[in-house]
Amino acid sequence: MTAGAGQSVPAAASRADAVPLDQRLRITEIFHSIQGEADAVGWPTVFVRLTGCPLRCTWCDTTYSFHGGQWHSIDEILAEVGRHGARHVCVTGGEPLSQKRCLVLLRRLCDAGYDVSLETSGALDVAAVDGRVRKVMDLKAPDSGEFKRNRWSNLAHLRAHDQVKFVLAGRADYEWARATVEEHQLAQTCQVLFSPVHASLKPRALAEWILADRLPVRMQLQLHKLLWGDEPGH
Ligand X SMILES: C[S@@+](CC[C@H](N)C(=O)[O-])C[C@H]1O[C@@H](n2cnc3c(N)ncnc32)[C@H](O)[C@@H]1O
Ligand Y SMILES: Nc1nc2[nH]cc(C(=O)O)c2c(=O)[nH]1
The binding site for Mg(2+) comprises 62
Q: Quote the least distance from Cβ 161 to ligand X, whole Å.
A: 17
**CA dihedral of residues 203, 88, 31, 223 (deg, nearest 10):** 10
Spatial distance between the Cα atoms of 13 and 72, rounded to a whole number of angstroms: 7
Per CB under 6 A, the list member of 119, 146, 162, 173 interacting with ligand Y is 119
Q: Which is nearer to ligand Y, 194 or 209 (CB)?
A: 194
> What is the number of H-type helices and E-type strands within the chain?
6, 9
Spatial distance between the Cα atoms of 222 and 116, rounded to a whole number of angstroms: 19
Per CB under 6 A, the list member of 36, 69, 94, 196 interacting with ligand SF4 is 94
DSSP per-residue string spanning 104-148 = HHHHHHHHTT-EEEEEE-SSS--TTS-TTSEEEEE---GGGT-GG
Residues 139-168 that bind ligand X (CB under 6 A): 165, 167
Contact status: 165 vs ligand Y (CB under 6 A)? no
Contact status: 200 vs ligand SF4 (CB under 6 A)? no
Residue span binding ligand Y (CB under 6 A) among the ranges 28-36, 123-131, 195-203, 212-220: 28-36
Q: Quote the least distance from Cβ 142 to ligand X, whole Å.
A: 14
Write the burial class of residue 233 (CB in 10 Å: 0-12 exposed, 13-18 middle, 19+ buried): middle
Contact status: 195 vs ligand X (CB under 6 A)? yes
Nearest Cα neighbor of 90 from 32, 170, 165 is 32
Residue span binding ligand SF4 (CB under 6 A) among the ranges 2-10, 90-98, 100-108, 125-133: 90-98
Residues 83-112 that bind ligand X (CB under 6 A): 92-93, 95
Show binding-site residues for [4Fe-4S] cluster: 53, 57, 60
Check if the beta carbon of residue 43 is closer than 8 Å to that of residue 34.
Answer: yes
Q: Which is nearer to ligand X, 39 or 61 (CB)?
A: 61
Contact status: 61 vs ligand X (CB under 6 A)? yes
Nearest Cα neighbor of 120 from 88, 149, 92 is 92
Q: Please report, as ranges, the residues that interact with ligand X according to CB under 6 A.
A: 53, 59-62, 92-93, 95, 119-121, 138, 165, 167, 195, 197-198, 222
